[in-house]
Amino acid sequence: MSMLTPPGMGGQYRITGDAYPRMRPPRRHGRLVAVVVASTAVLGLVGWGTLQLIDVFTGGGDTSTASGAGTHCRTRSAAAPAARVKPLPKPGQITVNVYNATKRTGLAKSTADELKKRGFRIGTVGNASKQYDKKVKGTGMLLGSPAAQDTSLRVLGTQLAGAESRADGRKGADLDLIIGDAFKGLANRSTADRTLTTLTEPQPTAVPKKTC
């Protein structure tokens, strides 16, 4: 009987050999590693989903990553200050000469009367000179000095839609309104007033503003 066999035991229970058998349970390192990896993956997915929800509810579509900083910047629309506009003269500061270049009679006087009601000062009223008589095919032509192109001519232009504006060599500040063949009347007064308001009070424009 081997020295490893306890007293009173033998037969099929006899233990042979020179060392005791190992009785510890098998190692489970492989299973533990798998559990850790799976838990890490689940936590990663949960974190990614949370970030996606945050982006949805906070407008994450407008974010952009700052170069090299690892932070997110959000772009929002902000109203820019209204651009400064060169002051325009009021109708009462503008003298208009009204000329008829068509075959129809009475247009110069009726148009001048309506402009006067709208606050303009009226100068000469009559037929157009040979240079323009029967030669203006559009609604009309507005003439003034080069300095009037961006000031008084713009104001007068609100009263006659489609009129052509030109600069000539005059020195004075008065303007000419020459009535053309397509003329059917001045612009509706309320429409002209709104157009003039737009010229003098431009709306501010939206510009992107980045916040980090």
Record the pTM. 0.58
Question: How far apart are the C-alpha atoms of 14 and 5, rounded to whole Å?
Answer: 6
Sign of CA dihedral 71, 75, 79, 85: positive
Place of tokens 């299973």: 31
Exposure on the CB side of residue 81, measured as CA atoms within 13 A: 3
Q: For 121-150, what is each residue's pLDDT tens digit?
A: 999 999 999 999 999 999 999 999 999 999
Exposure on the CB side of residue 94, measured as CA atoms within 13 A: 30
Q: For 7-29, what is each residue's pLDDT tens digit?
A: 555 555 555 555 555 555 555 55
Count Cβ atoms below 10 Å from residue 62 Cβ, excluding itself.
15
